[in-house]
Amino acid sequence: MDLTKITSPSFLKNMNKRELEILARDIRSFLIEKCSITGGHIGPNLGVVELTIALHKAFNSPKDKFLWDVGHQAYVHKILTGRASQFDTLRQFKGLSGFPKRMESEHDEWETGHSSTSLSAAMGMAIARDIKKERNYVVPIIGDGALTGGMALEALNHIGHEKTNMIVILNDNEMSIAPNVGALHNILGRLRTAKEYSKAKEELESLMKKIPVLGGKVASTAERVKDSLKYLVVSGVFFEEMGFKYLGPIDGHDFEALEKTLEHAKKATGPVIVHVITKKGKGYKPAEEDTVGTWHGTGPYKMETGAFVKGNVQGPAWSSLISESVRKLMKNDRRIVAITPAMPVGSKMEGIQRDFPDRFFDVGIAEQHATTMAAGLATQGMKPYLAIYSTFLQRAYDQVLHDIARPNLNVFIGIDRSGLVGADGETHQGVFDIAFLRHIPNIVLMMPKDENEGQHMVKTALEYNDGPIALRYPRGNGIGVPLDDELKTIPIGSWEVLKDGQDAAILTFGTTIPMAMVAADELTKQGINVKVINARFIKPLDSDMLHELMVKNMPILTIEEAVLQGGFGSAVLEFASENHYYDIDIDRMGIPDQFIEQGSVDLLLDEINLTKEEAVLRIQKLVKSNSTIGTKQV
């Protein structure tokens, strides 16, 4: 079937089982081919092919509302809603988003990039439907990993309490990004093997219907027998206790089972859980055999072999460098404990997990819990290291402020994927953490210029005893500098002059330092000598160096791969104001007041004018303005 000819899912209504199976095969082949070029979340999507087809056959989108949680499993949904012709642009600059996108299609009812949000949003949509007296189904599709998130459990509690009409699809592939952890995962495991319970329950209900009605006593006894059977066969049936009718588990690759169960769910009143068992990566052997999450989301790969296409890299992966530096220090300090909210693979913590299993904790998709757990460890004299993506740290803002910074606890936060991340787009760009951390009292915030400085910052963070300290580091690989054998600490709040000059100063850090250095070299050729400073401590600022610059009335350009509002440049402006340097020319480059969509980092930087050419232009204007005004007096 030519998938690019699909304009809406209505064509599915009259397809028989054989035709659906052929369609599923064609979609798998299409996804394997397209993602081999663009990269993407191939594993999750191969696992939901039949499920997505069955949902669109059973319901009527967009009247009926589908909410995909986390959203990386919506590729098949996009194909069935008329976007197959755009898959060559998947996750590319100005192309098709890798997640649901309301502006892309009327069928994308809810935008997701972070997990565990679908049930709360679905509750809102269902309440709106009922207030407006409309008739439609609200169908969140949530994975077993996302279901462990606290927000999902809060929503389950509310939905069950209100007895709201809703059909929740639990896509259980026994694995999210990494192998799932936690008690809820164990409950699901028991449910997967509890088919005998469902069979016995049906037989019991059939038997009770044959008993003459003898009053409430018999009825209540029958209910107790059912409950006893439930607890006898399935220890802790979670969903029924939460107020949901539980259907399943069913084979998520069996069209007949899916059709029958979905029709049953549509006839029910109140909230329903349809527990569907799927196989992540189904239909592509390398993805099927993945047990650690390698095929959850990938770059380009060779379709025939599954070998990943690697670009030209010089240095080690940043995530690996930071985690390995922590691991080395753990050997001689038993107080160090490593924590991650479901990202042991993404944050390259496998070495820590292997060598120190008693001091490594993957808490699942529970960023708030991970953060406050780190605070609890710190109260007992331990040295917690919390590795968390910048975009996920947003979810634990209150815990950082209230539980870590306010009592001034010694927690080391490794902020992975800081800055632009590229193909995952606006839901994952790590550009807000400076702005939402910098104003919190007690916290230290730093970012290294290269891998060598990065490993020294790990040492600095784990030896710091005066409160919370956070280390930002980017996605991707380092620049390939030599690494010192012996780690050392860096004085807190100290900056470093990388290139001297007297006409203007560039203050920057991290990934934008190479760009600043190239810009400074070009300006030197024009007769403009620029001082380039590695402002590696974003908080506290190096006040001595700033005073030195401002006393000399030196024009300043700040550059950051982060939002300008409340960012590093704002901190420099605040310093000038607080110290009454009113005549200093200060210009700022960074992320403008907008969400940045998907695309390669270089293209995105060019799009927002965060380039060496722009830096050269800004310095030229600053120097010209300063020379026109003449020597200023402070």
- For residue 589, what is the enclosing H or E element? strand 586-591
DSSP 132-153: TT----EEEEEETTGGGSHHHH
- What residues form DSSP beta bridges with 499? 532
**Residues 6+ away with beta carbon under 8 Å from 10:** none
Q: How many CB atoms lie within 10 A of CB 449?
A: 22
Give SS3 for 236.
Answer: coil
Give the H or E element holding residue 34. helix 17-38
Q: Do strands 537-539 and 444-446 pair parallel, antiparallel, or not at all (unpaired)?
A: antiparallel
For the CA atoms of 256, 260, 263, 264, the dihedral, rounded to the nearest 10 degrees, stands at -160
User: 530-534 and 496-499 as β-strands: parallel, antiparallel, unpaired?
Assistant: antiparallel
Which tokens in the block code for residue 246? 């539980």
Interacting residues of 234 by C-beta distance below 8 A, sequence separation 6+: 190, 191, 194, 197
Report the C-alpha gap between 525 and 242 in whole angstroms: 70
Give ∠ CA 256-260-265 in degrees, rounded to 5. Answer: 145
Residues in a beta bridge with 531: 505
Biggest CA pair distance of the chain: 103
Place of tokens 């859980």: 273
Contacts of 414 (CB under 8 A, 6+ apart): 322, 323, 326, 347, 385, 386, 387, 388, 470, 471, 473
Instruction: Sort residue 144 into left (φ over 0), alpha (ψ -120 to 50) or beta.
Output: alpha
Strand ranges, E, within 220-352: 245-251, 271-277, 336-340
- 474-495 exposure pattern, b = at least 16 Cβ within 10 A, e = fewer: bbbbbeeeebeeebeebebbeb
In the sheet where 444-446 sits, what is the strand order? 360-362, 336-340, 383-389, 412-416, 469-472, 444-446, 537-539
Report, as residue numbers or ranges, the catalytic residues: 280, 367, 395
Strands 360-362 and 271-277: unpaired
Alpha helices in 242-298 (DSSP H): 255-267, 285-288
Distance CA 303, CA 37 (A): 9
Burial classification of residue 413, based on how many CB atoms lie within 10 Å of its CB (0-12 exposed, 13-18 middle, 19 or more buried): buried
Residue type, 471: L
**Cα separation of 95 and 597, whole Å?**
9
Question: From the CB of residue 292, how many other CB atoms can be counted at a distance below 10 Å?
Answer: 13
CA distance linking residue 444 with residue 311, whole number of Å: 34
Asked whether 180 and 174 are in contact (CB, 8 A), the reply is yes
